[in-house]
Structure 1
């Protein structure tokens, strides 16, 4: 069976599964690269002719090109998923990708935000205009809810309730997030300024809007986050959505939330993902189960 044909069928399978645009883009890019390698470097055009040695050679090829271990592991997850699907469809007898040893990812201790730094970033924005109020609300929600960048950008106004937020996460999986009183106070002011700013103007249904009244772009959100770090004078740490999720996670655990509940709040399908995510927090598994507590309420 031609590799080209199988990859095309797999692409439609992934579309039917409802993967996000970003996930589809990453899958297509990586599978396109390995297809090009197998055809042009190894002379393989048939799926059945691919061996474990070919896949191991591809990993070595990626290593020589300078790709970091973490990137190789992330990349190969998509390749492994493809071969796993081929096995289920009985196009191959076994998933040969599962027999490939991957480089060990060095354990990196993430230097997270302190409560003081988060407080300074939130308070670096005012309520003097729509954009100041919007940016303050974005930073506050990132820190107090631990949302992903795509979840903040795609958040709809109808899903922000009185005390909860309905989040549409990875794989279109929905989850409910609690709105603390501290965050609610900021959101109330933001919504009032937003409604006044966009009065009689056409807008999308997104909760956070660009100056055009549309969804904030990836670059636009990144600029907001970097501006918060700049205003707060944070120079020794990368200011990113990931760091806010880390702050949220660590704060929740230190305030008594169990890791199983935290895993659900973060939108992780498996608790092992949460454990890897929090590898910088020593002995977090020893923290006893208790009621969840808001990071902002403890600033």
Structure 2
């Protein structure tokens, strides 16, 4: 991986570890770098070790393990408070958001906890982990939007045009397998093994998903119409090919989903390709798939991420109670 030139060696070693050993994506590695850089800049500013240097120009190259040994749990909590109260006054040079929401603070906690756990348990540079009791902030998750069964059928029936077999197959895999857009674009023909398909998820983690009859039929109908790809390493084995004969890109998939959403009479500003993943998960859960199995299907690292779909079901049950025609019935009081 590319080392960050502003980063001290101890931080570069950690970033290499989470990418090569833990399998974190380059995006996660960069986010952790930015979070930890902000943390060290804050510590140096808090301790008065920099004079009249703009926050985004505070150097951290000199941070070493001796310095890190002086950091306490209180420093970590002060940093999180700073991101809430003070940091929104500034715009980050890396174009991150002005106001840091709870989800962003939770990621910063994750970066800090992972870094200090690595120093303690893996690199053995610390005798004890000073922030092992650092808690995650409460993150309020909004319920994801999804299509109903009827709307899903309308979406599938809206498909037409010169690439209708390909587009129908794409929508069918989204709605049945709950794939991420990047996962669908990364599919190769060789990933299909009879009634299963190999999916490469976040952090290069593989999972095998079973294909139902609808998916198998859609794939079999599409393959005879699949365009011959340009003959290069990245395109040759791709399952879904663009009209330019390359591996289909995320932007193309997102655009075609929006097109059919609108064609089906639905709101394209409300629904997207990622919402089809939510739709698949919701329909599976509402029809009896247990939460652990759903976690495996979706490729979630944590069961907590999958638990959002239990709240969807709770909300639907509340709505069902309210929509009952007897919901507002009140018994007449008997006359005394």
TM-score range, shorter chain: 0.7 to 0.9
Tell me whether 1:263 sits opposite 2:295 in the alignment. yes
Structure 2 gaps, min length 5: 1-6, 50-59, 89-98, 317-336
Tell me whether 1:79 sits opposite 2:112 in the alignment. yes
Equivalent-residue separation in structure 2 for 1:5 and 1:199 (angstroms)? 44
Give 1:270 shift: 4.1
Equivalent-residue separation in structure 2 for 1:92 and 1:115 (angstroms)? 54
Deviations 1:219-269 (Å, cap 9, x if unpaired)?
A: 333323333323233338732344222222222222222222222212234
The equivalent of 1:124 in structure 2 is: 158
Equivalent-residue separation in structure 1 for 2:83 and 2:243 (angstroms)? 41
Equivalent-residue separation in structure 2 for 1:37 and 1:67 (angstroms)? 15
Q: Report the RMSD for the aligned CA atoms in angstroms.
A: 2.9
Compare CA radii of gyration and give the structure with the larger one: 2
Higher alpha-carbon deviation: 18-27 or 141-150: 18-27
Deviations 1:26-67 (Å, cap 9, x if unpaired)?
A: 333333333443445554832122222322222223223211
The equivalent of 1:182 in structure 2 is: 214
1:59 and 1:200, CA in 2 relative to 1: closer, same or farther beyond 3 A? closer
Equivalent-residue separation in structure 2 for 1:103 and 1:75 (angstroms)? 10
The equivalent of 1:217 in structure 2 is: 249
- Cα pair 1:129 1:193 within 8 Å, conserved: no
- Cα pair 1:83 1:97 within 8 Å, conserved: yes
TM-score (norm 2): 0.72
1:93 and 1:123, CA in 2 relative to 1: closer, same or farther beyond 3 A? farther
Higher helix content, 1 or 2: 1
The equivalent of 1:297 in structure 2 is: none
The equivalent of 1:9 in structure 2 is: 13
Partner SS for 1:133: helix
Equivalent-residue separation in structure 1 for 2:159 and 2:245 (angstroms)? 20
Equivalent-residue separation in structure 2 for 1:97 and 1:217 (angstroms)? 41
1:73 and 1:163, CA in 2 relative to 1: closer, same or farther beyond 3 A? same
Higher alpha-carbon deviation: 269-278 or 50-59: 269-278
Q: Taking CA–CA contacts closer than 8 Å with sequence separation of 6 or more, which of the two structures ends up with the larger relative contact order? A: 1
Equivalent-residue separation in structure 2 for 1:275 and 1:95 (angstroms)? 30
Structure 1 gaps, min length 5: 285-299
TM-score (norm 1): 0.80
Query: How many residue pairs were aligned?
Result: 279
Tell me whether 1:59 sits opposite 2:89 in the alignment. no
Deviations 1:79-99 (Å, cap 9, x if unpaired)?
A: 321121112123234333443
